[in-house]
């Protein structure tokens, strides 16, 4: 469904992504792990078109999307959230999601129809009672939920979740894990997520991709990747990898 071939991205002398291949299949929940600076968010920015590739290509449903403008990629059905949440601060929660619905793939004709769909998404995400609030009135967890709600508003086929679980307490993480499954099962959205919270990765993902210094070091089921010596070395150093 979403496929990258020999992707490279440099920032001046820094190689952010080196010769990376990846593939996401329809209906999967795929996790991406790696230490800070390993290129996870860069990869998301490349997929969503906010950054341009140096070499290689990214395909979505068989057609090349690398090189397209971000709004074209989004219109094809690639949605995303931002690691540092970026709600439209002057607009209410309902307006945030309604605009996404209006311009997304739902093909609505009127603002009223879009508002209805947006309201159902807010209900799904658990923010419906606060639809008239401004994003500034929400806590971090609420803002992360809003970020997901807005992404769902565009009716994506695949959703890139950038560290949705970061900064949450254990109870909130439980809720977010549940939400991740429901996004796939109720909305039929394939999920590709960057995550540091291993508990969330182990419980939700069908498959995990591990990056280090912009290179892929592991790709497989969560248990296998978590026990991969290369991955342990990347996080904890050589001493732990030997056992």
Partner 1 sequence: MGQDSGWSKRTLLLVIVFISCVTIFPWLGPPVYFISFAFNVFIYITLATSWNIIGGYTGYLSFGHVAFFGIGAYAAAIFGMWFGLSPALNILASIPAGLVSMLLAILVGYPCLRLRGPYFAVITLCFAFVTELTIRNLDFLGGADGLWLKGLALPIEVSRSIFFELMLVLTLVTLFVANRIEKSKFGSGLRAIKEDEEVAQTMAINTPKLKITAFAISAFFPGVAGGLYACYLTYIHPDIVFDVNVSILIVLMALFGGGAFWFGPLVGATILTFVNEGLSTFVKAEYARIIYGCLFIIVIIFMPNGILEFAKTRMVKKPAKFEAAVK
Residues at the site binding partner 1, with contacts judged by CB under 8 A: 48-50, 69-71, 74-75, 79-80, 82, 86, 88-91, 94-95, 98-100, 102-105, 111-112, 114-116, 119, 128-129, 131-132, 150-151, 153-154
Nearer to partner 1, 70 or 126 (CB): 70
Nearer to partner 1, 13 or 69 (CB): 69
Nearer to partner 1, 144 or 212 (CB): 144
CB of 225 to partner 1, least distance (A): 28
Residue 182 is given by DSSP the state H
DSSP 64-77: E-TTS-HHHHHHHT
Residue 128 is given by DSSP the state G
Is residue 140 within 8 A of residue 167, CB to CB? The reply is: yes
CB of 47 to partner 1, least distance (A): 11
Helix, strand, coil percentages, rounded to 5, for the chain = 45, 25, 35
Nearer to partner 1, 115 or 216 (CB): 115
CB of 226 to partner 1, least distance (A): 31
Nearer to partner 1, 78 or 209 (CB): 78
CB of 88 to partner 1, least distance (A): 4
Distances (CA, A) of 193 to 35, 93, 118: 15, 23, 23
CB of 99 to partner 1, least distance (A): 5
Distances (CA, A) of 153 to 101, 148, 205: 5, 8, 23
Nearer to partner 1, 162 or 219 (CB): 162
Q: At what angle do helices 170-187 and 140-153 cross, to 10 degrees?
A: 10
The end-to-end CA distance of the chain, in Å, is 37
Residue 129 is given by DSSP the state G
CB of 242 to partner 1, least distance (A): 43
């Amino acid at each position: 469904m979403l496929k990258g071939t020999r992707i490279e991205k440099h920032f001046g002398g820094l190689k952010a992504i080196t010769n990376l291949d990846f593939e996401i299949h329809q209906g999967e929940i795929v996790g991406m792990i790696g230490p800070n600076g390993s290129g996870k968010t860069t990869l998301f920015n490349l997929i969503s078109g906010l950054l341009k590739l140096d070499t290689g290509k990214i395909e979505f449903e068989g057609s090349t999307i690398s090189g397209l403008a971000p709004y074209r990629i989004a219109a094809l059905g690639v949605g995303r959230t931002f690691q540092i949440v970026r709600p439209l601060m002057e607009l209410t929660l309902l307006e945030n999601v309604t605009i996404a619905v209006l311009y997304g793939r739902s093909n609505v004709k009127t603002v009223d129809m879009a508002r209805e769909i947006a309201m159902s998404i807010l209900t799904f995400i658990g923010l419906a009672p606060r639809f008239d609030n401004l994003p500034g009135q929400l806590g971090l967890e609420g803002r992360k939920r809003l970020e997901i709600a807005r992404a769902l508003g565009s009716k994506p086929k695949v959703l890139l979740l950038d560290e949705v679980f970061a900064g949450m307490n254990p109870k909130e993480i439980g809720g977010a894990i549940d939400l991740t499954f429901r996004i796939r099962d109720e909305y039929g959205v394939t999920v590709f997520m960057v995550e540091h919270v291993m508990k969330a990765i182990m419980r939700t993902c069908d498959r995990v991709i591990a990056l280090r210094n912009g290179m892929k070091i592991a790709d497989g089921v969560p248990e296998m990747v978590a026990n991969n010596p290369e991955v342990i070395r990347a996080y904890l150093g050589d001493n732990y990898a030997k056992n």
